[in-house]
Amino acid sequence: MTGERSREPTVLAAGKRFHREVQAAYVAELLGMQLSDAAERTIVRPGGKRQRADILLLVTDEPERMQFVVEIKSTIWQARTAAKQRALFLSHLRQMHGYLDVLLDNIGRDVDSVVPALLYPRRPSDMTVEQLEAIALPKGIMVVFYDDMDWRPDAP
């Protein structure tokens, strides 16, 4: 061993950069909040298992208290077969359902609704978008693409 530190894989480093970029844009630009007030919140599941939601915001304005949970994924869909896309997407949905199992229990007490979204860097082909949305939307989960968003604070 030469004493060199191993570097994290390029794909992991790129994914972390994307997470930070999205968290900063989503929170600071759209909502005027501090990033530290919303990003990377721990959700404790029954049994004590801990998960980390990338963005968890409670919007307390009346008349409806909405909680937004956003899971940021750096997945690039184009390089995958349809079967691999589906398998990966189902794992992302299972992760989101883990959050929802806890967050939905607060409806009527701390919040009035929970709005879940999976956010990806770039919009894939129309056919892939249709396939992803056909799985997610009936479950009440939005699929959002970063390159479709206008992150300017003055955008309508």
- Neighbouring C-beta atoms of residue 131, cutoff 10 Å: 17
The domain defined by 10-148 folds into Trna Endonuclease; Chain: A, domain 1 (3.40.1350)
Write the CA distances from 20 to 25, 103, 106, 111, 151, integer angstroms. 9, 23, 28, 27, 14
| 24-28, 84-88, 102-106, 124-128: least confidently modelled range | 24-28
Residue 153 has pLDDT above 70, yes or no: no
Distance in angstroms (rounded) separating the CA atoms of residues 78 and 53: 25
pLDDT given for residue 8 in this prediction: 78
Check: CB of residue 132 under 8 Å from CB of residue 84: no
Residue 97 has pLDDT above 70, yes or no: yes
Distance in angstroms (rounded) separating the CA atoms of residues 72 and 15: 9
Check: CB of residue 29 under 8 Å from CB of residue 152: yes
CA dihedral 45, 48, 54, 60 (to 10 degrees): 60
pLDDT given for residue 143 in this prediction: 96
Q: Where are the domains of the chain?
A: 10-148
Write out pLDDT tens, residues 48-82: 888 888 888 777 666 788 888 989 999 999 889 99
pLDDT category of residue 1 using cuts at 50, 70 and 90: very low
